[in-house]
C-alpha cells in the first residue's frame, strides 16, 4: 500500500501542483493509501452559501437539486460548489484505516464527523436518499476519504448525530471566542442570533464574566428575541449590519461611547465589514467568521477611518474546537433545545 502526501496532493488530477481544495478535479477512487481513512458516508451538511445557491438555481425542485449535487460530485470528485467555492462537512462510519494513519485510537465502525471542508474531500455518491431543504442536510449512500492532515471528531453518544453535525460545522467560531475574550471585555456579536452567533454569544458571556458586557446585533426581531429569551447578551440591538452609521450610533449608546474590545462577525451576507470596524475600539480585535467577508473592504475600510485594529480571518480550525462546541450543547439546555428543533 503506497503512502500519500499528508495534504492529499497525490489525488489532484488538475491543475497539478495545487492542493485538493484549489483543484478543479480530484481522484475519488475509493481505494485508500496507507495514510488515509475510508468512510461510509451517512449525511452531508452542505455549506449554507452553497446550499442556498443550489436551491435557487433549481427553484427548490428537489429532484433538480439531487441531479445538481450528483453532477458536481461526478465532475469534480468532491462536493465543491463551483459558484461559491465552498463545501460543507459529513458524518459517517469508519470502514478502513490505513496502517500509517496517525491516530491509532480510531477503530473501524467509529462514527465520525469530518471537520475539513467537503471542498477538498474525495467523495463518491452511490445514491441520494433525502435532501432536507430546510437544514442543508443530504442523506446519501456513498464513501469518502480523509487525508492524514484531515481533521475529524468522533461523535459523542449523548448528542443526536445531526445536532452534532450542525454544531460542529461552525465549531471554529466559539473556540476562537474562548481564546480571544478576557474577563471584563466588551464584546459585540454581529449576527448573534444565527447558528454560530448563538454559540459565540454563549461563550462570550462565559469568558467576559460579571464585569464584561456582551452585545448582540441582529437583523430580525425573531432572532433578537431568541437571544433575549435565552439570556445570551446584556444588550440586544436590532439593526441592519450593512448600515454602519446606524450600528455605530446604537453601539455607542449602549457602551457609553467606549465601543468594543472584541467584535465577532457571524452574519451570512455581504458588506458588514464597516460596521464591525467602526464599533471596535482602537487596538481592539475584529474576528471575521463570516465567509461573506471581503478582504479588500476590510483592509481599506479600517485604513479609511484611521482605525488601528487587528482584523482576523476566521480560521475554521483551532485546537480543541470540536470538544468546546459540543460542551456548550451539553451545558446549555436552551441552545440544545433550539438546535434540536432546527437541525434534528
Question: Does 69 sit near a copy of itself (CB under 8 A)?
Answer: no
> For residue 41, what is its C-alpha cell?
458516508
Q: Which does 296 bind (CB under 5 to 8 A by kind): ligand NAP, a copy of itself, none?
A: a copy of itself
Distance CA 289, CA 317 (A): 11
Neighbours of 296 (CB within 10 A): 8
> For residue 191, what is its C-alpha cell?
449576527
DSSP 113: E
Q: Considering beta carbons, is residue 191 or 244 the nearer one to ligand NAP?
A: 191
Which range in 66-74, 94-102, 145-153, 167-175 contacts ligand NAP by CB under 6 A? Answer: 167-175
Using CB under 6 A as the binding criterion, the count of chain residues that bind ligand NAP stands at 31
Which range in 30-38, 64-72, 211-219, 286-294 contacts a copy of itself by CB under 8 A? Answer: 286-294
Using CB under 8 A as the binding criterion, the count of chain residues that bind a copy of itself stands at 57
Q: Of residues 137, 196, 325, 332, which one binds ligand NAP by CB under 6 A? A: 196
Q: Are 195 and 325 in contact (CB under 8 A)?
A: no
Residues 300-319: x where in contact with a copy of itself by CB under 8 A, - otherwise, as a string:
xxxxxxxxxxxxxxxxxxxx
Q: How far is the CB of 183 from ligand NAP (least distance, A)?
A: 25
Distance CA 191, CA 219 (A): 7
Q: Considering beta carbons, is residue 186 or 275 the nearer one to ligand NAP?
A: 275
User: In degrees rounded to 5, what are phi and psi of residue 298?
Assistant: -70, -50
Which range in 146-154, 228-236, 287-295, 330-338 contacts ligand NAP by CB under 6 A? Answer: 287-295
Neighbours of 259 (CB within 10 A): 18
Conformation bin of residue 77: beta by default, left when phi > 0, alpha when psi is -120 to 50: left
Amino acid at each position: 500500500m503506497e503512502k500519500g502526501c499528508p495534504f492529499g496532493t497525490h489525488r489532484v488530477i488538475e491543475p497539478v501542483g495545487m492542493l485538493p481544495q484549489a483543484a478543479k478535479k480530484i481522484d475519488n477512487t475509493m481505494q485508500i493509501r496507507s495514510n488515509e481513512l475510508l468512510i461510509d458516508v451517512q449525511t452531508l451538511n452542505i455549506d449554507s452559501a452553497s446550499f442556498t445557491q443550489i436551491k435557487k438555481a433549481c427553484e427548490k425542485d428537489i429532484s433538480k437539486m439531487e441531479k445538481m449535487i450528483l453532477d458536481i460530485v461526478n465532475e469534480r470528485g468532491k462536493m465543491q460548489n463551483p459558484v461559491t467555492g465552498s463545501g460543507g462537512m459529513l458524518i459517517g462510519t469508519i470502514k478502513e484505516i490505513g496502517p500509517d494513519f496517525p491516530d491509532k485510537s480510531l477503530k473501524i465502525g467509529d462514527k465520525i464527523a469530518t471537520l475539513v471542508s467537503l471542498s477538498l474531500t474525495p467523495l463518491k455518491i452511490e445514491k441520494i436518499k433525502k435532501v432536507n431543504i430546510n437544514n442543508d442536510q443530504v442523506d446519501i449512500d456513498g464513501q469518502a476519504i480523509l487525508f492524514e492532515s484531515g481533521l475529524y471528531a468522533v461523535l459523542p453518544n449523548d448528542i443526536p448525530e445531526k445536532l452534532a453535525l450542525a454544531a460542529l460545522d461552525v465549531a471554529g467560531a466559539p473556540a476562537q471566542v474562548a481564546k480571544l475574550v478576557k474577563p471584563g471585555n466588551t464584546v459585540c456579536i454581529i449576527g448573534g442570533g444565527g447558528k454560530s452567533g448563538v454559540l459565540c454569544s454563549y461563550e462570550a458571556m462565559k469568558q467576559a464574566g460579571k464585569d464584561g458586557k456582551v452585545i448582540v446585533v441582529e437583523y430580525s426581531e425573531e432572532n433578537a428575541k431568541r437571544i433575549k429569551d435565552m439570556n445570551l447578551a446584556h444588550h440586544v440591538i436590532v439593526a441592519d449590519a450593512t448600515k454602519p452609521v446606524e450600528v455605530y450610533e446604537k453601539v455607542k449608546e449602549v457602551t457609553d461611547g467606549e465601543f468594543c474590545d472584541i467584535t465577532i462577525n457571524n452574519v451570512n451576507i455581504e458588506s458588514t465589514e464597516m460596521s464591525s470596524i467602526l464599533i471596535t475600539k482602537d487596538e481592539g480585535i475584529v474576528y471575521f467568521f463570516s465567509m461573506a467577508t471581503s478582504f479588500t473592504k476590510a483592509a481599506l475600510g479600517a485604513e479609511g477611518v484611521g482605525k488601528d485594529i487587528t482584523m482576523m480571518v476566521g480560521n475554521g480550525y483551532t485546537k480543541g474546537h470540536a470538544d468546546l462546541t459540543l460542551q456548550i450543547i451539553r451545558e446549555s439546555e436552551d441552545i440544545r433545545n433550539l438546535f434540536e428543533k432546527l437541525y434534528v
